[in-house]
Structure 1
């Protein structure tokens, strides 16, 4: 009897072991399938059969006191990204994206923002130096049906900036649906450098977004293990799928903007040709930097100049990342993906161009030599210095007219970047070494690999407003939405922060 019982027990244990083994193999096999199918490549599959749309320059009027006035209407709409399929979208003054605002240094600008959407949003002027109450962050919500009218004096060098929503906790979905546009600044120095500068001809805005379409909708779900946020499988440039652009000049300036919510891009050309990086987030570099790749995380910009030959076609491509990620994070953060993004088609006869200048502009960001204090920021998913965002808490109080050194450490295993409102900073070092040449220009957003540390020099030129904060945060936007954000106020010498106040639509 005992032998029969023992035999039954053995069979039960063997059965359980077999089930566990089958389950383990199924789980392992499922993971292998998910891992092996997680990368995306459109290389060689894009037809480049649609002409690249170029966002129009926004119309403006100049009032008697010299103020340049723009108008932006936030509205819902629909677009045929692919013929015959209508997709619901959001946009500024149209169905998707918005016009390019353009102003010069020293101009007073006013923007009349009307929210025609069914929910509260906002408009943040990313990279702009301006009063905190005009910044368009989460403390300046614009209710559905309301109007917000910020105004400020442009007081910074020529640069490629952009604008996008910044509603607290909802930014990813608003940007992904199409609310974004460029804001180009000009100044006297940039006009004499000798770079291509005819908008839409030899000076092209290139707003790059990833998207995923399902049943005619812009699908926004996060796939398994995608802790960076939403990653799409197709690329839109200025809202155009499969785009080409015919060009008639030897030198073409591309103002690259990574307007994706989570995806990073390692931009280069399909023939590995060299090109020059002439500008970063906040303006021109001191001198052009020749490269064959330039990597941008969400929110970052780079102005690049490429030389064309008569009659050729060349493809702008997104290559696998070199982002310091472990293999798992590399795969599930989109780091192994490759995209054919845009085809440039040169005319048979091109307008000749001189060589790029060897010198452009002098550096205008602080070098840290006059820093009055150092602050540390440990960043990890959904937290900065161990805390989630609290709209009522001021995390740092800085004194107007001073320079500080901020030391930002990625203590997470996943990729992050760091964006600071109002200022353009200088990257002093990356992991104790001087930054690469393409990071030596004015920056407002910088990528920080897992385990890496960057040192930044920031000067706070005001104006002071102790009750209205600016933000600092990860610009992988889902991370921001989950609470990976803090805030600081600028005060006069000897001043103190006040309780943050809200400035809504009016």
Structure 2
């Protein structure tokens, strides 16, 4: 059951009506504080079936399709991969060659972007390679990056928000041989749990994309789904449970915490594990970001994962969901739990050296533009030489929240507003939240793949902003090459 308080003018609105009163009511009403009864068992997305072909490649089949799904309001029209809503979890190992056949059975073009994956630009699934209705796209590459929680979702021109909101998304887990992965909980669906968090708004039994009054970031729902499950609970049978948190919402920012305030261990971010567990009582994720956390439980107890006030005070924050709070997922520990121990160290992350950077670039996100320019598929906003390192200064130039996502590479955060980053930003990242008027300095190495004819994207991962043109392109070339893009 949802609960939220109405401000004093809420009653006045009911009694008097009128647009001016409605606006005044919105300014003074309390933010959302949503509590649920946790009455549905959390759905665990199945691991995608795969085969190994004669050349040793792992082959997956994905089909984008329409369907109908019970999201807590009866039969709702949705989209999904290999089913009516969301998609299976793809899983492959470092060093494996993967072939993914993507069939589009929707009535409009789509793409599939492999968010966080290091791969050739021609396989990246950006807006340059739409899959027409009824069409097929075959993506193929060799996985060469550390174990991490990645995901896949559409990236078509001007339709990304709509397609993701309707349900096109899934997790992609990369494994490697590092002992730390085995030392952490790693039994998928048992003590290693995918947690895809999305907010939704309903009009009767159907999804609504109506915007919140005053919002500048797109749809903000007043209900939460986890793996497509409303009001979910998870039965836990081990003392430690690993939650792979993915903010799969189109705009909303979450600040995840446990309802009783207990600390948990942050063990990984977008691109893989941290050097060691970082004990904290909250982790904030903007759209597209991931975090792996390990929660310790006692036999028989129940504790809720919540998101509380991710952006603090101010009217802009209120309009953009920054003061809203939600129940997310209840953990229910069994009367007897399997013993488990959290390792003290995980791995050693090689650090990129800014003194070795071949280029330093600056990008300011403001309005719906980057450096004052909207998206142009025929323009290269940066030309990067293969196997070089670059430092990028990425800033939010106004009061609207943004996020920064870059394709192909994982980066390290060097500075936040000129200061050393906090421990939770000490690992590999491909997406970072850009608070209003905040500046990040990041460093990345652009290795392995050069293609002067095909660009990678960097953009705001608030999907309404992306669809409105808040994207840029970079091309990776061999020394001496020039880009040859076609708009």
Q: TM-score per shorter chain, which class?
A: over 0.9
Q: Is the CA contact (8 Å cut-off) linking 1:269 and 1:317 kept in structure 2?
A: yes
Shift of 1:322: 3.8
- The answer to whether structure 1 residue 59 and structure 2 residue 52 are counterparts is no
TM-score (normalised: structure 1): 0.91
* Aligned with residue 456 of structure 2, among 459, 470, 479: 470
Shift of 1:137: 0.5
Residue correspondence of structure 1 range 258-337 to structure 2 within 5 A: 258-322=247-311, 327-337=314-324
* Aligned with residue 229 of structure 1, among 214, 218, 222: 218
Q: Is the CA contact (8 Å cut-off) linking 2:212 and 2:319 kept in structure 1?
A: no
* Aligned with residue 140 of structure 1, among 113, 129, 146: 129
Q: Which residue of 1 aligns with 2:330?
A: 343
Residue correspondence of structure 1 range 317-466 to structure 2 within 5 A: 317-322=306-311, 327-354=314-341, 356-364=342-350, 366-466=352-452
Q: Which residue of 2 aligns with 1:177?
A: 166
Shift of 1:30: 3.8
Shift of 1:264: 0.3
* Aligned with residue 103 of structure 1, among 85, 92, 101: 92
Shift of 1:162: 0.1
Specify whether residues 38 and 467 from structure 1 end up closer, same or farther in structure 2 by C-alpha distance, changes over 3 A only: farther
Alignment partner of 1:369: what SS? helix
* Aligned with residue 69 of structure 1, among 55, 59, 66: 59
Shift of 1:190: 4.9
Alignment partner of 1:82: what SS? coil
- Please list the CA deviations of residues 314-334 of structure 1 after superposition, one character each: whole Å capped at 9, or x if unmatched: 0000100146xx611110110
Shift of 1:304: 0.2
- Please list the CA deviations of residues 433-470 of structure 1 after superposition, one character each: whole Å capped at 9, or x if unmatched: 01110011100001111111110001100310011000
Q: Which residue of 2 aligns with 1:248?
A: 237
- The answer to whether structure 1 residue 40 and structure 2 residue 32 are counterparts is yes
Could you tell which deviates more after superposition, 307-316 or 489-498?
489-498
Residue correspondence of structure 1 range 3-22 to structure 2 within 5 A: none
- Please list the CA deviations of residues 119-148 of structure 1 after superposition, one character each: whole Å capped at 9, or x if unmatched: 001000000000000000101110000000
Shift of 1:367: 3.6
Q: Is the CA contact (8 Å cut-off) linking 1:158 and 1:190 kept in structure 2?
A: no
Q: Is the CA contact (8 Å cut-off) linking 2:275 and 2:346 kept in structure 1?
A: yes
Looking at structure 1, the residues matched to 352 and 225 of structure 2 have their Cα atoms a distance apart, in angstroms, of 36
Q: Is the CA contact (8 Å cut-off) linking 2:180 and 2:346 kept in structure 1?
A: no
Looking at structure 1, the residues matched to 31 and 351 of structure 2 have their Cα atoms a distance apart, in angstroms, of 39
Q: Is the CA contact (8 Å cut-off) linking 1:365 and 1:425 kept in structure 2?
A: no
Looking at structure 2, the residues matched to 76 and 424 of structure 1 have their Cα atoms a distance apart, in angstroms, of 33
User: RMSD over aligned Cα, in angstroms?
Assistant: 1.4
Alignment partner of 2:33: what SS? coil
Poorly superposed stretches of 4+, deviation over 6 Å: none
Q: Is the CA contact (8 Å cut-off) linking 2:62 and 2:81 kept in structure 1?
A: yes
Looking at structure 2, the residues matched to 412 and 322 of structure 1 have their Cα atoms a distance apart, in angstroms, of 15
Looking at structure 2, the residues matched to 51 and 38 of structure 1 have their Cα atoms a distance apart, in angstroms, of 30
Q: Which residue of 2 aligns with 1:3?
A: none
Shift of 1:38: 6.6
* Largest Rg, 1 or 2: 1
Unaligned runs of 5+ in 1: 1-25, 502-506
Could you tell which deviates more after superposition, 88-97 or 455-464?
455-464
- Please list the CA deviations of residues 153-187 of structure 1 after superposition, one character each: whole Å capped at 9, or x if unmatched: 00000000000000011100000000000000000
Shift of 1:372: 1.1
- Please list the CA deviations of residues 12-67 of structure 1 after superposition, one character each: whole Å capped at 9, or x if unmatched: xxxxxxxxxxxxxx876443301233721213xx1111000000000000112110
Looking at structure 2, the residues matched to 500 and 59 of structure 1 have their Cα atoms a distance apart, in angstroms, of 37
Specify whether residues 77 and 364 from structure 1 end up closer, same or farther in structure 2 by C-alpha distance, changes over 3 A only: farther
Looking at structure 2, the residues matched to 240 and 141 of structure 1 have their Cα atoms a distance apart, in angstroms, of 30
Looking at structure 1, the residues matched to 395 and 261 of structure 2 have their Cα atoms a distance apart, in angstroms, of 33
Looking at structure 2, the residues matched to 121 and 37 of structure 1 have their Cα atoms a distance apart, in angstroms, of 39
Q: Is the CA contact (8 Å cut-off) linking 2:377 and 2:485 kept in structure 1?
A: no
* Aligned with residue 31 of structure 1, among 23, 26, 29: 23
Unaligned runs of 5+ in 2: 1-17
